[in-house]
Amino acid sequence: GVGEKLFGKQSLSQDGVWQRLDLEGEEAANALQTIHTLVPEQKVSPTPPRARAGFISHRAFGGHCGKLAVEAEVLTPLHIRESGEPSFVATLADGPVNGWDFFSMAPPEAVQRGPDRAYALPSRSIKGMLRHIYSIASDSREPSSDISRLNPSDSLFGWVGTGPNQAIMGRLSFSFGLFEEPELAWFKVPYPYGEWQYAGGQWKHAADSSAAKMLVGRTWRVFPHAPLAPIVKQLDDFRPDTFQARYFRAILPGSRARFTIRFWNLDEQELQRLIWCVALEPGLAHKVGNNRYLGFGSLRLQILPDSFLIDWTKRYADKAEQEWQLPIQVDEWIRPDVIKHHTALQRALNAKQL
């Protein structure tokens, strides 16, 4: 039993419903020094565990598990609206006008927010941004019909269907991306603004036109990178002068944030795609947040050296972190040949004009 495994053959005495062992002095010290592991050395499958229905299971670890440490650099002003009430409100003749601060780790009630705020990229926004690119890179245009027939994006990021036993958690976990001393500024965006279109490296005003759409695979909309449109105005403070505009604070270029992505039970191709979708290729960048059409929200991500894969055999053996955390060589995982719509993504995510 467990007692014999821990302490060898010892005589136990009855103590109510329990069996009791009393050790003192040198005998107790020797027993503690010779404790054996309760389980034998475990071997983790090189492939993710699958349930009978065919989906990748969470019941055990297998395949590739680890953590990506990521740094985000803002390339064009970035705005993600704060949760809850607007921090600023002004009243004009046409009615109240809201002034929205950037998302921060703060209460939803405006009166409870202090002057010193921890601005951050919400984990939900990071996940949505990367899931969109992963859906394109894996050509996940076909909806998942049931849990046994998940498209690649739903399989990795999670899926909720209809009926019993038709939902599965994703195999990725995203942290918030806290900014370090970001610089912010107020912006005014009048609307409607669809008559402004970016083409040929410049913004043009085309009367009676609608907002241009770039579609990849005739399915996924992608906002091309561009400098801010001429209709956008940077302000010194929140002083609204019209009801027909949005007023918000955005984080300015050069600001940086860090977040992590924990992953487990990925097969090789899933990890290759994930790393490509995070790091991209030189000259490419992401888009996130509000008013992306007008040039806001360009973001460059870099996978940091403290990212790692987990060697579960050493982890289960209680080895030191430096032994079971295996550094990720990002260049070795970047495989454009596993990226669907690769050429279209290169064109859509091109940020060299910034």
Assigned domain for 213 exists: yes
Assigned domain for 56 exists: no
Please give the tally of structural domains in the chain. Answer: 2
- Percent over 70 (pLDDT), the chain: 94
Residue predicted with more confidence, 284 or 19: 284
| Shared-domain flag, residues 8 and 119 | no
* Residue range(s) defining the domain that contains residue 19: 2-33
Secondary-structure percent of the chain, ordered helix, strand, coil, rounded to 5: 20, 30, 45
| Shared-domain flag, residues 322 and 279 | yes
In this predicted structure, the answer to whether residue 3 has a pLDDT above a threshold of 80 is no
Assigned domain for 49 exists: no
| Shared-domain flag, residues 118 and 182 | yes
CB atoms within 10 A of CB 231: 17
- Residue 101: is it exposed, middle or buried by C-beta count within 10 angstroms (0-12/13-18/19+)? buried
For 46-93, how does the pLDDT look when each residue is reduced to its tens digit (9 = 90+)?
899 999 999 999 999 999 999 999 999 999 999 999 999 999 999 999
| Shared-domain flag, residues 242 and 156 | yes
| Shared-domain flag, residues 24 and 72 | no
Q: What number of helices (H) and strands (E) belong to the chain?
A: 9, 22
Assigned domain for 202 exists: yes
Residue predicted with more confidence, 288 or 18: 288
Give the residue-averaged pLDDT of 303-331.
Answer: 94
| Shared-domain flag, residues 148 and 252 | yes
Give the residue-averaged pLDDT of 240-247.
Answer: 96
Whole-number mean pLDDT of the chain? 93
| Shared-domain flag, residues 226 and 332 | yes
| Shared-domain flag, residues 276 and 317 | yes
Assigned domain for 75 exists: yes
| Shared-domain flag, residues 28 and 80 | no
| Shared-domain flag, residues 26 and 70 | no
| Shared-domain flag, residues 72 and 180 | yes
In this predicted structure, the answer to whether residue 35 has a pLDDT above a threshold of 80 is no
| Shared-domain flag, residues 180 and 326 | yes
Assigned domain for 106 exists: yes
Assigned domain for 57 exists: no
Assigned domain for 19 exists: yes
